[in-house]
Structure 1
Amino acid sequence: MSGQANQKKSADTKTLDKTTAEKVAAAGLRAHGEMLACDIPAELPVIPLASTVVFPQMGVNLQVVRKKNLNLIRDMIDVPPIEELSSIGVAARLVNKINVSGNTIQIILLGLRRFRVASYLQTEPYLKARVACIDEKEEESMEANMLMGNALHLLENLIQLDPRVPGEILNLIKNNLSGPGNLADQVANHLNFELEEKKEILTTIDPMGRLKVAVRLIEKAIGLAKAGQEIKEQTEDEIRKAQREFFLREQLKVIKKELGEESETAATVREVREKIEKAGLPEEARKEAEKELGRLEMVNPASAEYNVITTYLDWLSSLPWSTMTVDRLDVKDAARILDRDHYDLEKVKDRILEFLAVRQLKSDMKGPILCFYGPPGTGKTSLGRSIAEALGRKFVRMSVGGMRDEAEIRGHRRTYVGAMPGKIIQSLRRAGSRNPLFMIDEVDKIGMDFRGDPASALLEVLDPEQNNSFTDLYLDLAFDLSRVMFITTANRLDTIPDPLRDRMEILHLPGYVEEEKLDIARQFLIPRQISEHGLTKDLLGITEDALKEIIRGYTSDSGLRKLEQQIATICRKVAKEIAMGKPRARSVDAKDLQDYLG
């Protein structure tokens, strides 16, 4: 009977002529009690098969474990209950028995014909069932001949496509062919179908229906063979292409050598070496670069390692190891720039001017690490830009709000695919200077999860005693950050970890009162918004009463962001009126705000 998993047939499986097989089997079975009209006993012992299917007129090899090991086998495998066994089976005759080992016997069975289980008589010590004959009369018709011809043609195509199917089975099947049902049984016996597919053929009683199932399975096998052939051809093409490229590259190397020209690798190494010479690397970084250059000369340009090494060397040669901008040490000029861009904030301005005064006296002074904290809209970020202009330094900004991955600060190790340096090194590369003004925004909103704690990674960056040898994991080299002027911004201090807060000099930027907002709006916000919206002072004016009403009725924050947004809204409304053909001067008063701001 059929089972539950598929295994390859033994080489000893064989097919016998149907008439001869039935005569031989019947002669040996008539002595075994009541016989059915189909020449098989009415009661048969049953062997449930778990890995193969026996078909009529087909031979099969089975290995049977001796009785003393059956209990062990029952514990090791899950024997299905009789309710789950198929109702269709094949009567078989024992042809030969061979002792394989002390515990195992190999038996050769010859399938005779299908039967249907009427009832099970016993389950111990082995299964025994009463069976009934199944009429398997072969059909002889034009349709049957055409279907068999189609099946044999498909089988021939499968043999040509799939090298795993031996060619001799076609002649074997033709020589023992007796009808469509027999052809389906032979195909299922010889081809490596899935176990469930073989069970489907076994349990299909109608010969024509059985052969149609076999034809469908052959067509499926042909489709799989074609797909496998295409994949094989594509793989072989890729291998041939890679080999061809390798040989061509080697030939090109020889040709260039004969002509006295540089190879591709040699030209790359020369270009990288020139960049490294110009970069002014420190001694440790230069040794690492020379080591990687030596590896680059030995690596095939087509390998993945080649790109990893060239990318690493490109980062080394493009960093500002020794490039610095010259600080503008004119205290009066710096004060003018700060007053031009920002109202009040005297404490912050004095701190910057003090730094410039000390720099005049001590040229190798380390950069300060400041923290501007205050409500939103008080000008913390824009103040950083003004300080950079006043000092004559490059300005770079990095927001760490919501950052949760420590690697964004310290980078990834080169062992990872697509590894890159962290944001600190990336920003310095963009700045092109090793002493920019580096603003780290939203330092109070750093996150933390299983990927690490970015706030802890910032401890090394913002510590004047440690940042002269900051080590990015990608570079794996110390980079001096002591000349960088770090400024962080925050809206609150209680969410900043204590070790990080202790490393920064806290400067409070308080909110503005109404009088300060009025002055700032007149001096800074209104002129800037008029200019940004393409207007002029002649086309738009905002009275002091209107400004007071905007501050009192349309803004509620202690900063200036909402106030500037409302002024921008008025400018847009006026620009729209001008675009619609109403180019007249306007002076917006408090009574007009309902029309402009709602």
Structure 2
Amino acid sequence: MNPFKKDILQAEDSESNIISFIASDFIDGNTEIDETGLKETLPLLPLRNTIVFPGSTLPISVGRKKSLALIRSMGKKQRYIGLVCQKDAAVEDPEGDDLYRMGVLAEVIRVIELADDNLSIIVQAKKRFEWQELTQKAPYMKGTYQLMETIKAQKDDKEYHAILDSIRESMVHMLQMLGEPPKELIQTILSEAFSDMLIGYCGTNLPIDSREKQELLSIRDEKEQAYRLLMILNRESQILELKMNIQMKTREDLNQQQKEYFLQQQIRTIQEELGGNTQQIEIDEFRKKGLGKKWSTAVAETFEKEVQKLERLNPQSPDYSVQYGYLQTILELPWNEYTKDNFNLKHAQKILDRDHFGMEKVKERIIEHLAVLKLKGDLKSPILCLYGPPGVGKTSLGKSIAEALNRKYVRVSLGG
């Protein structure tokens, strides 16, 4: 029974070009190479936006002519190929200058025919290599190469093991943020038996730029590579958390707006069924009062703009009451409405004596002020200031003066 059967089916059903998975048969991170299967030159398979790390087992979709020629030329003796990433994924027919120098030597486990112009291969990445010179460009690329040995970390290095534990936690945290990962996958990542494959698996599956992945692959020191991987994982986790928080806030704001709009529509429908929309009735009343005002065309245009602004506001919004009060104030102002002053001093004295007993000095000063207004006749906005503690009659004196002059009395509180 083929140990890859389950994984092969997943590769065939998937639409993506590359999917990494963990095969139980390779949980020990087997990177051993059969030296008898190696030759002086190595077939090179260019990959788009994909960096494969040693220890990873994954299916790859093959569709380009040179890549198809490479896979179909392989026999029982030729099991190893070089997986090399392109610098620019847009290049359809890459040359040597379009490829990174560092790649991964991989063993082809299985070839699956999907169509005449499409194959799927399952490979296990073994060791890093650096190709040196191209010896063949057609029908596919071949080149001389040199295997790159990894500088292993000491088994008793506590700092290295702490870094691996942090990588496990960060990877699991990222997977959980992206969705519901299978329990078996989480258990495998957290197991000590997976330590040798951990860096390769995380490096292969990290959603980062291929250039940064290539830099990570180029690090030969295992401990330094693990530390760099942890830095990338922490950064990507923070970015992912920020994106999710932004999406959550946006979704909450949108849901709240939709809820308010839905409720507002319900209220409007109910009001119309009961005999009209209260908000619209009030707005129509404002417009009706505005028609009776003696204001200028400019003021009328401004008033209409403010009414339209009120129409757009939600009645439950705090701005609605502010705008409503503003329009009420505009309508209450006496636009181009005047009263004729009565400067009859005897009449004014009579009104003051009727309403106030005593206060002779105050009444005398008021009469003098009115006499000046009568004589000059051209004083603009004359002001008479009355001051004193509460309850001595300042307000009532103001009412009496207004009555004496035949003016409307308006009380405006400016305290505070």
Q: Quickly name the TM-score band, shorter chain normalised.
A: 0.5 to 0.7
**Cα pair 1:173 1:186 within 8 Å, conserved:** no
Check if 1:145 corresponds to 2:143.
no
Report the residue type matching 1:51 in the other structure.
Answer: N
1:131 corresponding residue in structure 2: 145
- Counterpart for residue 172 of structure 2: 156
Identity of aligned residues (%): 19
- What pairs with 1:262-301 in structure 2 (closer than 5 Å)? 263-276=278-291, 301=314
Residue by residue, what CA displacement relative to the aligned partner does 1:201-259 show, whole Å, maximum 9, x if unpaired?
21111111111111111111111122112212321331243245346646766897899
Q: Is the 8 A contact 1:266 1:297 kept in 2?
A: no
Identify the structure with bigger relative contact order (alpha carbons < 8 Å, sequence gap 6+).
Answer: 2
**Cα 1:188–1:265 shift into 2, 3 Å:** farther
For the Cα contact (< 8 Å) 1:117–1:130, is it kept in 2? yes
Counterparts of residues 83-122 of structure 1 (less than 5 Å): 83-122=97-136
Q: Give the whole-Å Cα distance in 2 for the aligned partners of 1:277 and 1:166.
A: 74
Extract unaligned runs of 5+ from structure 1.
1-6, 36-40, 281-288, 324-598
For 1:170, the equivalent position in structure 2 comes to 186
Please name the residue that 2:405 is paired with: none
Give the Å deviation of 1:179.
Answer: 4.2
* Counterpart AA for 1:134: M
Give distance in 1, aligned partners of 2:91 and 2:182: 33
Name 1:238's counterpart in structure 2.
253
1:183 maps to 2:198: yes
In the aligned structure 2, how far is the partner of 1:199 from the partner of 1:176? 26
Matched to 2:233, the amino acid is I
Check 1:168–1:231 CA distance in 2 against 1; reply closer, same or farther (3 A cut).
Answer: farther
Residue 113 of structure 1 aligns with an amino acid whose one-letter code is: K
Q: What is residue 26 of structure 2 aligned with on the other side?
A: 17
Deviation at 1:9, TM superposition (A): 6.3
Distance 1:260 1:48, change over 3 A: closer
2:222 matches 1:222:
no
1:227 is matched by which residue type in structure 2?
Answer: L
Query: What TM-score does the superposition give when structure 2 sets the normalisation length?
Result: 0.54
Partner of 2:60: 62
- Partners of 1:20 and 1:190 in 2: how far apart? 16
SS of the residue 1:184 aligns to: helix
Query: 1 CA distance for matches of 2:247 and 2:219?
Result: 36
1:195 aligns with 2:210: yes
Q: C-alpha distance in 2, partners of 1:134/1:297?
A: 73
Does the C-alpha gap of structure 1 residues 87 and 209 become closer, same or farther in structure 2, counting only changes over 3 Å?
A: same
| Cα distance change of structure 1 residues 83 and 262 upon mapping to structure 2, 3 Å threshold | closer
Question: What letter corresponds to residue 119 of structure 2 in structure 1?
Answer: I
Structure 1 residue 170, shift from structure 2 partner: 3.0
What is the distance in 2 between the residues matched to 1:247 and 1:67?
Answer: 57
Shift of residue 147, structure 1, vs aligned partner: 0.9
Which amino acid letter does the alignment assign opposite residue 231 of structure 2?
R
| Contact preservation (8 Å) 2:174, 2:237 | yes
CA deviations on 1:63-115 (whole Å, 9 max, x unpaired) are 323649989xxxx9454442453222111111222222222222222211212
Choose which of 39, 42, 49 in structure 2 pairs with 1:44. Answer: 42
Please tell me whether the aligned partners of residues 203 and 213 of structure 2 are also in contact (alpha carbons under 8 angstroms). yes
CA RMSD of aligned residues (A): 5.0
- What letter is aligned with 1:202? L
Write out aligned runs for 1:341-360 (5 A).
Answer: none
Please point out which of 206, 226, 229 is paired with 1:211. Answer: 226
1:564-589, CA deviations, whole angstroms, 9 ceiling, x for partnerless residues? xxxxxxxxxxxxxxxxxxxxxxxxxx
Q: Is the 8 A contact 1:99 1:106 kept in 2?
A: yes
Q: How many residues align?
A: 286
Report the AA paired with residue 196 of structure 1.
R
Distance 2:206 2:228 in 1: 13
Q: 1:10 to 1:172 in 2, by over 3 A?
A: farther
Question: What amino acid is aligned across from residue 170 of structure 2 in structure 1?
Answer: L
Residue identity in the other structure for 1:224: I
Alpha-carbon spacing, 1:224–1:301, altered in 2? closer, same or farther (3 Å): same
